[in-house]
Structure 1
Amino acid sequence: MKRQLNYILMQTVLWGGWICEYIWFLKHQFQMRFDLWVFVAYLFLLYLCVVRKLGNNNNRRYEIYMELWGRLTAVNVVWYLFVGAKTVHFAGILLVLWKLILLSTIQCITFAGVFQIYKKIMEHFQITTACVITRADTLEAAKEKIRVHDSVFLEDLPSDERNELLKFCYYMDRQVYCNTKLSDIMIRGSGLTQYHDSPVFFCNHFGLELSKRAVKRCFDLVFSVLCLLTLSPLLLVIAICIKCEDGGSVIYRQTRCTRDMKKFEIYKFRSMIADAEKIKGPQLATEHDKRLTHVGRFLRNTKLDELPQLVNILKGDMSFVGPRPERPEFIAKAVEDIPEFVLRTKVKAGLTGYAQVMGNYNTSFLDKLKWDLMYIENYSLFLDLKIILMTAIAIFAKDNHEDFSKWDML
């Protein structure tokens, strides 16, 4: 009971804060009078666009905040276009846009603060017990665990057993987490229709449509040119530093695979000693690889060694966002254990990708494949922008996951 009361209290504080911020901006920033019906329409729009589940409940905290900020900005822009656009001249559009972004930022900060307070309060009132169910557990033993615990994690179980336990968790009203199977991810991006009087899923797994590829390519062309022009002084400084350290080549070329397993030469700033693979041949780099030079170690830690791939993007070998390109040797090795690994080559390789921002340095090939398929099945230009922002933040932020599962409003 205390949990529900605290939840209602925090929801009230959050919505109260958002409403006060809206009214203050309405009066002091946009010089508009309060109108009850306009206010009701704004709340309704806020409900439709924001009061929904944001991404996955256990995504990184900054990803949740970023998606919330994007939705709040969309709500505020749409609201202003219909309500206040007639009150501003073209010369004032940038100022109005700045105010709308500022309003969305303050609303997002309010959510972050309220959530942290809610989390601290709930730590004193709620004791959550969790259990893990593995293949070693019998069906009856698994059900007994579910009866006495609040949260359940189902490991990689056989499909029939997992389905039965999922239904039992649903019946017992338990919070449940499942290891994903490739088929789960493939069907996640499917549509819902009906066959006679039965609901059915339909899947169109053809990679990206021509129109989406065209938009993606235009985005890549424009922003690769802008980035190359903007970062040209930095690229020159890095090249000089690499050359001064050991006199070797500045750019390192390596064969990688992109869409449809097409091979291309990827460009990177050389971060290892010359002929690093001469003795042992191709091998994955490790976090504390002794083959790294002093400048190369800094470039690896800051991801600056990847900047020459802007040229690959300009040439059309790669995209800004997509599955990271792997070497043919590593793909062949991965396919021996995971034949579906080639499915990630249904789109162009990317400078960054979902697996990079959601995984770790040593993420397994199977988990990389799952994240990459998740990206392919749910592609949108907004998702690309989101991953690019997440990449910029992840370079400086530590791995940080936050549980948002308690917030039904999201």
Structure 2
Amino acid sequence: MLKTAFTNYINNFRGFSREIWILAIVTFINRAGTMVLPFLSKYLKENLHFDYHQVGSIMVAFGCGSMLGSWLGGKLSDKIGFYKIMIFSLFTSGLSLFFIQYVTSFWALCFAMFLLMTIADMFRPAMFVSLSAYAKPENRTRALSLVRLAVNLGFAAGPALGGLIIMGIGYPGLFWVDGTSCIVSISIFAFLVKEKKKTVLTDKTESTVAKSVFHDKIFWVFLFVSFITAMIFFQLFTTLPLYHNEKFGLSEFQTGLLMTLNGLLIFSLEMPTVGYMERKKFKKIRIIIAGSFLMASSFFLLLINFWAGMLVISMICISLGEILAFPFSNAFALSRAPHGHEGRYMALYTMSFSLAHITSSKLGFEIIGRYGYQENWLFMAVIGMIAVACCVWINNALMHEKMS
């Protein structure tokens, strides 16, 4: 029985092209080396002695650079191809990380972080477009899940390794290791994966894609849904850890165990779930509806604030929502894009996450500061249900579109 279950789990990893596996490995190396981000605010506060306002301003510059980079990465992927953008982005951001450790003044750091993230986040939409090029249509969603799995494993390893580096050689070591991981990972990709040529856009097709993106009402409602689900999900890393301690007295270790539960659920369930739903040909938008509902429900559960066990149940709920919502959201965005114009669509999709990252902590802490934790959970739950309603509208609109 156990052997059969293990075999079925492994079967979910079969059928990928060589390029997809290399991309997953490269993504893991890169994300495992992403050690600066988890410690950035701590580095700015404790090492460079900036006040909270200055740290917040630098993080806003960080987020704005991420949004611009996402847009440029998608636009240029359509113009000159995803392959060149991926190599330029990771190689140049790797070199930039070597030098940014020597920037210590406030305004210079604001500019440096904005520039670094503009270059670094050009990679994300280009990487999504590469999946559409290298993955077979029938397992494209599973390929997205495989790369997500690599990202999650990398993020799990990175902070722990980063902490050891800080203890051993200090913060400068983070910048050197992070920059090196960018350069090593993209060098492996460039050496092992050949560029897959794509059609270059003409002026005529450029005007067509502009019309198709900016007049695609269904896609814009979908972007709103992506923004909302991402914003409530990011509460996991901003307001919730403080809530664990202030309300229930949980230690950093206990909060870490809850985060580990999220990672274990993603690792063990996402690929089998996505594989099963692909085989059964479930409609993507209906799966996103279920995922969005679970994520919203997890915050309704947090309103039951007299039992610490509810934190575990809520974490399970939001993790299952993540498993359903995020892989199929990626796949829906790609499937919505006209052939040859995936970069523009994936740019807007990744920008919705960048905007959610900026908004989530600011809005969450503002509500908590003025009204309290309960009001924040209620707000997140309600806007999560608004996202569910928008998904239902998209489902109906898609049926009308198919009939017309």
TM-score range, shorter chain: under 0.3
Q: TM-score, normalised by structure 1?
A: 0.22
Higher normalized strand content (fraction of residues): 1
Larger Rg: 1
Q: TM-score, normalised by structure 2?
A: 0.22
